[in-house]
Amino acid sequence: MKRIICFILLCLCYIFVSSVEVNADVNEYELRLEYYHKYAALTGIDWYYIAAIDQYERNTKNYRHYCPKQNEIISICFDERLWSGINNPVYDDKNTDRINIFGGIGFDGDEDGYADRLNPDDRLYTMVKIITAYGITEDSIEQALLEYYRTEKGVQIIKQIALLFKHFNRIDLDKRVHPIPKGYNASVVNNYGDKRSFGGPRLHEGVDIFAPTGTPVVATAYGYVEVKGWNRLGGYRLGIRDIYNTYEFYAHLNSYAKGIEEGSIVRPGQVIGYVGSTGYGNEGTRGKFPPHLHFGLYKFDGKKEWSFDPYPYLKKWEKVRI
């Protein structure tokens, strides 16, 4: 009897802790939205642009030495020298006059008298100052972003994230599903990094999911269709970018789902194409290998894009086939 009561108590504890965690997440998203709307109202920039910049910075902060690594409400972060001014003798200065004299970019957003590099308001205010340097039209924001980040790909990704936030009118777009829906046979082979020879020696940047021709393929995440079309190695393929700077690559498709074009916005579980055996030749080449979906994952870290192993994720998503 004691054991049963203990078990029930443990279960209740678990349920309580999980619900607290869920609430914490919800509150975090709400808090972020409040910040975005506040600075949108203040500057006239659409909220989803500010949200997309913050998301992009969150996605790349681990690759910048000056960014705190812990979870923060606002992840926009600045190099301390840029913030305070290159020749400012005070490290991580908060004094607005001195920052100004030394040509630093830090501003005091919450009007507490300090330009604090770690304060969410001061960060956001400084960022909106940077991106409104030329005005608040889409073109002028893009020009300012290019000048600040110095990466066309990065700016393109910020625009895509902004479109996703705008389209769904939400920022919690983290749902993931398996690329082959429930009820269809699919066998995932753990072959990331295997040697390949077609088109020259190379490593296999993805995993193969064997399934009969015509099996539907669904988007694994909320995303923006960045690439559609034929490629000698991949055949008919799709490249979809999610809000985490991750590029999901679907190759060897037999055909595309109706309405899927470059620039389309997709949701997890939406059919985007059908399994096939296209590739390894000129456009339309089929049957050089058994039908399968080649699924790859790539990450843009702010400077470069690299491939990583999708196998552990696919194993996890086995439980979320829809």
Closest to Zn ion by CB, 123 vs 294, is 294
Pick the closer one to Zn ion by CB: 142 or 208.
Answer: 208
Nearest-10 crossing angle of helices 47-60, 152-168: 130
Identity of the residue, 32 or 294, whose beta carbon is nearer to Zn ion in the bound complex = 294
SS3 181: coil
For residues 283-312, which are near Zn ion according to CB under 5 A? 294
Q: How many residues bind Zn ion (CB under 5 A)?
A: 2
Judged by CB under 5 A, the chain residues 76 through 115 that form the site for Zn ion are none
Smallest separation, CB 46 to Zn ion (Å): 39
Quick check: 293 and 272 in contact, CB under 8 A? no
| Helix residue spans in the chain (DSSP H) | 2-43, 47-60, 80-84, 96-101, 120-131, 138-149, 152-168, 311-317
**Chain Cα centroid distance, residue 25:** 17
What DSSP element (H or E) covers 223? strand 223-231
| Closest CB to Zn ion among residues 178, 294 | 294
Give the tokens for residue 17: 């802790």
Q: How far is the CB of 194 from Zn ion (least distance, A)?
A: 9
Least distance CB 292 / Zn ion (angstroms): 7
Torsional class of 318: left (φ above 0), alpha (ψ -120 to 50), beta (otherwise): alpha
Q: Nearest approach, Cβ of 233 to Zn ion (angstroms)?
A: 9
Q: Between residue 200 and residue 239, which ones bind Zn ion under the rule CB under 5 A?
A: 208
Q: Which token pair is 309? A: 């192993």
> Residue 299 and residue 79: Cα distance in Å, rounded?
22
Among 61, 133, 123, residue whose Cα is nearest residue 302: 61
Cβ closest to Zn ion, residue 94 vs residue 294:
294
Q: How far is the CB of 290 from Zn ion (least distance, A)?
A: 11
The residue among 75 and 220 lying less far from Zn ion, judged by its C-beta, is: 220
Q: How far is the CB of 204 from Zn ion (least distance, A)?
A: 6
Q: How far is the CB of 296 from Zn ion (least distance, A)?
A: 8
Closer CB to Zn ion, residue 109 or residue 279?
279
Q: Which of 179, 265, 275 is nearest to 226 (CA)?
A: 265
Tokens found for residue 230: 């034929």
Quote the least distance from Cβ 57 to Zn ion, whole Å: 33
Distance (Å, rounded) from C-alpha 9 to C-alpha 14?
9
CA distance 253 to 219: 13
> What count of other Cβ atoms lies within 10 Å of the Cβ of residue 253?
25
Q: How far is the CB of 243 from Zn ion (least distance, A)?
A: 25
- Report the distance separating Cα 64 and Cα 302, nearest Å: 9
- Nearest to Zn ion of 37, 232 (CB atom): 232
Is residue 122 near Zn ion by the rule CB under 5 A?
A: no
Distances (CA, A) of 319 to 151, 176, 312: 37, 10, 12
Contact set with Zn ion (CB under 5 A): 208, 294
